[in-house]
Amino acid sequence: MPADWLAPVRAALDARGRPLEIFFRDDDAGWDDGRLFDLLDCFQARQVPIDLAVIPQVISENLAEALLGHWRRNPFMLGLHQHGYSHHNHESQGRKCEFGISRSEQRQFKDLLAGKQQLECLFGSALDSIFTPPWNRCSQATADSLIKLGFQALSRNLGAAPLYTGRLREIPVAIDWCGIRIKSAQPWMALGQAIAEALHPSHPLPLGIMLHHAVMDDDDLEHLQALLQLFREHPNTRCRLMRELLEDAKAQDARLSACSLESHAVLAAMRSYLN
């Protein structure tokens, strides 16, 4: 392992003026269960929470039981939410997408509902009201359907094409661990530099890091453990679950709404006094 690949990350954290919230989202739960448990062990060893995006039509009952057992032992260390429906590409041209522009809202709604019901039967109250589309892509029809189905958050890539999401929160990921590693001649140095750049105070917060356990090897897990150790120990990092970030955002909205109502009341009282 390159001894200095985390040097820019450490320097960026040291330079921050306040703590940074970080979350890890692992996609494609339902594929390669053995490697998924290797990843969970990695996070458990460093006591860092992780969110799993679960493919409804793929996950087995045995895996669901095992994940539910993990959640029950410590719900603050594991998040579970919906990842598409079947993870099949439905686009005949262009980039892969399960919930793309070629599919009607009716067809998308049907799949989203079926996936939601399947995961609710498997996980019950452990299932978070968050949706991650396969390949991090979806259409306006997807967002409209998610709102109708009562989802509270959508997680895509940072910088994805904007959608009208109404009350649907966006919790984007900024770092594609496997994408950076696969495309780079010096993968770990490139990954360290990308994470360091994402830690800059000018970038949107929190920082989301996307993983794909099914294509991660032992070298990935070794480097990941080193990063988790740094995040675990550094005073300027706070690793959270996506649902906690969602709850924080809702609480902030409630406070802003209360302040707005109070301001309106004060203005109304002043008008009444002046009149």
Query: Which pLDDT tens digit goes with each residue over 58-70?
Result: 999 999 999 999 9
Is 200 inside a domain boundary?
Answer: yes
Burial code of 93-119, b = ≥16 C-beta within 10 A, e = fewer?
eeeebbbbeebebeebbebbeebbebb
**Which band of pLDDT confidence, cut at 50, 70 and 90, is reported for residue 23?**
very high
Q: Does residue 256 fall inside a structural domain?
A: no
Q: Determine, yes or no, domain membership for 260.
A: no
pLDDT for 270 equals 57
Its domain, for residue 143, covers 7-241
Which CATH number goes with the domain that contains 224? 3.20.20.370
Mean of pLDDT over the chain? 92
**Residue 254 within a domain:** no
Position 247 in a domain: no
Domain assignment present for residue 77? The answer is yes
Overall number of domains in the chain = 1
pTM here is 0.91
Q: Is position 157 within any domain?
A: yes
Question: pLDDT tens digits, residue range 217-268?
Answer: 999 999 999 999 999 999 999 999 999 999 998 877 655 555 555 555 556 5
Task: Work out the average pLDDT over 153-169.
Answer: 95
Q: Which residues contact 147 (CB under 8 A, 6 or more apart)?
A: 165, 166, 167, 168
Whether 69 maps to a domain, the answer reads yes
Query: Nearest Cα to 121, choosing from 207, 57, 185, 27?
Result: 57
